[in-house]
Amino acid sequence: MTRVIEYRDALNEAMSEEMRRDQRVMLLGEEVAEYDGAYKVSRGMLEEFGAQRIIDTPISESGFSGMAIGATMVGLRPIVEFMSWSFSLVAADPILNNAPKMLYMSGGQFGCPIVFRGNDGAGGQLGSTHSWCVEGLYSNVPGMKMVIPAFPADAKGLMKTAIRDDDPVFFLESERLLSFKDEVPEEEYLIPFGQALVRRPGTDCTIVSFGRPVHFCLEAAEELAKEGISCEVIDGRTIRPLDIDTIVESVRKTNYLVVVDQSWSFGSPGSEIAAQVHQHCFDDLDNAVARVHSADVPTPYAVELEQAYLPNAHRICEAVRAVTYTA
Amino acid sequence: MPITKALETQIDHISILDEHGNFDEELGAGLIPDEDLVKLYEHMMICRQLDEVAFKLQRSGRMGTYPQNMGQEATSLGAAYMLDPADWMVTCYRENCGLFWRGLPMEKILQHWMGDERGNQIERSLYCTPIAVPIGTQMLHATGLAWGAKYRGEKQIACTFFGDGATSEGDFHEAVNFAANLDIPVIFFCQNNQWAISVPSSIQCSAPTVAQRGVAYGVDCLQCDGNDLYAVAWCMKKAIESAREHHRPMFIEAVTYRLGDHTTADDARRYRDEEEVELWKSRDPLNRMRTRLMGLKLWDEAREAELKERAERTVAAAVERAETIEAPELSDIFNWTFAEVPEQIALQRDTMRTSSIGQDPSQIASEQTTSA
């Protein structure tokens, strides 16, 4: 049985279910308690779980991220909400330099089972400093896992897995998707990391993406179908671990690949996928891998410029036509 | 309207045993039983011996960069002595004496600075976190540890150590603010050793005390003579009570002095006056404790000679143990990145290739075919 709920409520359900199941789980961050979260993701959770477990913090990202690391050392499993992943940059030391290395540097003693979560990505006219797609910058760091769901059902199933995971998990939500409604199963379920999903089967060209741009890819595939180009759209769902096998399998069938990644192109998940596909599918590819990224500039503020800067269905269609020699 | 005072505050300075051997009987009464004094003194002496040997090891190429603790032995020792063995000690890298008191084997410290990560594999039962070299990060970990312990309803508290320089880091301010606002039982123990490599504490803090930085966050603050084991113990007693009984953090500034270089990669003679160093040598925490012990008839020249010889043997044995630990396995590169080793890393480990070739067995196969 399923019902249709918002992406934000799927996240809320996942956190609440896990908190009922495990007393070691708690949520901390700015505005998460009394205010229900700046984006209402933690609506009602203070009432249910109390101020000991739903904790309003000072505006101090480095502070609560570092504290969460300490809390894991006594066996807790905190969920840390960044109002926006853009604000996590001031917490770079705890989240990049400490949490993913603590297990390694303590010779296996102190793992950091923390879920760092929040809004990622541009598209809300928030200007350059508030529009980060951190997957480009952060996915370079070993020792953490990165999840970026595009649909409410994935947001829930992956969040539950993230909370039970023994490593630090960077959970990238999208402000633009929080009100997006879709079917979510009634019964309990978890979605394992490292399993991409074929969202739309096709035969002529593979399009792989993760997070919000998956929706643009589906839009593009619909448009291209009218032109007789059958696209297979793969939703990566997690960036680390990356399910390269599903992508490779698809490319061996279609012989063409377009990667759509909302982060900047240089040293990004998009470039990593391109590199790995070239390695695994050198003889299968009938053209070089095409990549659709945000423009290699700071995120513009004006709505017209921001929309043109981001990957969109139009740019994806162009890339597919070009790479399949149908332009 | 008349001008009123929004805040008036003061910072108490605690000194019990001064460098001349004067002892405040009132403050010092019952603080450290005489039978513990000898053990504490011996710990400081052995720790000092380790510093001297470690310096020579580095100079002769047998050890990497090492930060000497010389002159600061009483600070972490006084703290460790007063803490419960199950309280967390969250240190940076100048707390050897306290860690040894806690039970950390000396060769662990040597192994770490000899460049072996396994030196940071500290027995869980010692409640010590790995040595934190980035400045200040450990203060947040301590706050989180204490917060977690409180959440779990345990009596455990945390004590975190850092230098005067670290109080300029944002992490310090965020940690103290959190601890104060959320009633977290953590003790912030600042070893004000006057120098952050070549930068004097006046550049870190223009206020007359570092301790008053805590006042801004609403925590109780104390300053003490950090070379006076009794004064450190006195402050710790207050702070432990505040943390354990009332979940209130405290800030202790222990004024001490880094008698050695910042690390063996530094030469402090280039930026410090010899007179200043000489002045602080006269305030050495070991000398005043020796004077005290002799005054109490607990110590004499013969015991001093025996201790020196024992310290040499103890440290030499620790060096030997550290130097004979087998080198880590190369495959250790890949372990402990994740709780479970993922396939990509397992492939690299199995092939011992960190290049992309190592991630793709089919490419290795073709390479072998080519070379054959």
Domains, in order of start, for chain B = 12-323 (3.40.50.970), 332-371 (no CATH)
**Per DSSP, what are the bridge partners of residue A258?**
A207, A290
Contact between A264 and A136 under an 8 Å Cβ cutoff? The reply is yes
Chain B neighbors of A166, CB-CB under 8 A: 339-340
Kindly identify which residue of chain A lies nearest to residue B357, measuring between CA atoms.
Answer: A279
Whether B367 has a pLDDT exceeding 70, the answer reads: no
Q: What is the pLDDT of residue B365?
A: 60
Q: 10-residue block means of pLDDT along chain A (327 residues)?
A: 97 98 97 96 98 95 96 97 96 96 90 97 91 96 97 98 98 97 98 98 98 98 98 98 97 98 97 95 97 96 94 97 93
In chain A the domains, ranked by start, together with CATH numbers, are: 2-185 (3.40.50.970), 197-323 (3.40.50.920)
A144 to chain B: closest CA residue: B338
Residues of B with catalytic function: 258, 262, 271
With contacts defined as CB-CB under 8 Å, which chain A residues touch B122? 106, 109
Please choose, from the candidates B321, B237, B224, the residue with its C-alpha nearest in 3D space to the C-alpha of residue B17. Answer: B224
Helix (H) or strand (E) holding B323: helix B301-323
- Give the lowest-confidence range in A194-208, B96-110, B119-133, B179-193: B119-133
**Angle (deg, nearest 10), helices A61-73 and B137-151:** 60
B340 contact A CB<8A: yes
Burial of A52 (0-12, 13-18, 19+ CB in 10 A): exposed
Task: State the complex-level ipTM.
Answer: 0.89
Res. B372 pLDDT band, cuts 50 70 90 = very low
Q: Are B284 and B45 in contact (CB under 8 A)?
A: no
- Selected for mutation to probe chain B from A59, A62, A67, A72 (highest B CB count within 10 Å) is A67
The alpha carbon of residue B332 is apart from the nearest alpha carbon of chain A, in Å, by 9
The pLDDT value recorded for residue B369 is 47
User: What pLDDT is attached to residue B356?
Assistant: 74
Instruction: Kindly list the residues from chain B whose CB atom is less than 8 angstroms away from the CB atom of residue A106.
Output: 120-122, 129-130
Please pick, among A6, A13, A30, A61, the residue that the annotation labels catalytic: A61
**Residue of chain B minimizing CA distance to A111:** B339
* Distance from C-alpha of A263 to C-alpha of A51, rounded to nearest angstrom: 36
**B122 interface with A at CB cutoff 8 Å:** yes
pLDDT at A87: 96
For A142-174, b/e burial (b = at least 16 CB within 10 A) is ebbbbbbbbbbbbbbbbbbbbbbbebbbbbbbb
> How far is it, in rounded angstroms, from Cα B123 to Cα B104?
8
| pLDDT band, very low/low/confident/very high, at B350 (cuts 50, 70, 90) | confident
Pairing of strands A169-173, A231-235: unpaired
pTM exceeding the 0.90 threshold for the entire prediction: yes
**Which of A220-234, B128-142, B186-200, B285-299 bottoms out in mean pLDDT, i.e. has the lowest?**
B128-142
Asked whether the beta carbons of residue A67 and residue B144 sit closer than 8 angstroms, the reply is yes
Regarding predicted confidence, which is higher, B343 or A325? A325
Q: Using CA coordinates, name the residue in chain A closest to B333.
A: A104
List strands edge to edge, sheet with B158-163. Answer: B12-14, B220-225, B250-255, B186-192, B158-163, B88-90
Which candidate in B336, B357, B366 is best for mutational testing of the A interface (most A CBs within 10 A)? B336
φ/ψ region of A267 (left if φ > 0, alpha if ψ in -120 to 50, else beta) reads left
Residue given tokens 């739903």 in the structure block:
A54
The string of pLDDT tens digits covering residues B42-96 is: 999 999 999 999 999 999 999 999 999 999 999 999 999 999 999 999 999 999 9
What integer pLDDT is reported at residue B370 of this predicted model? 45
CB contact under 8 A, B129 and A93: no
Other beta carbons within 10 angstroms of residue A87's beta carbon come to 18
Q: Which of B338, B347, B367 to mutate to test the interface with A (most CBs of A within 10 A)?
A: B338
Contact A106 B340 (CB under 8 A): no
pLDDT on residue A107? 84
Q: Do B140 and A142 touch (CB under 8 A)?
A: no
In the predicted structure, residue B366 carries a pLDDT above the cut 60: no
So what's the pLDDT on residue B371? 43
Measured N-to-C along each axis, helices A213-226 and A313-323 cross at an angle, to the nearest 10 degrees, of 60
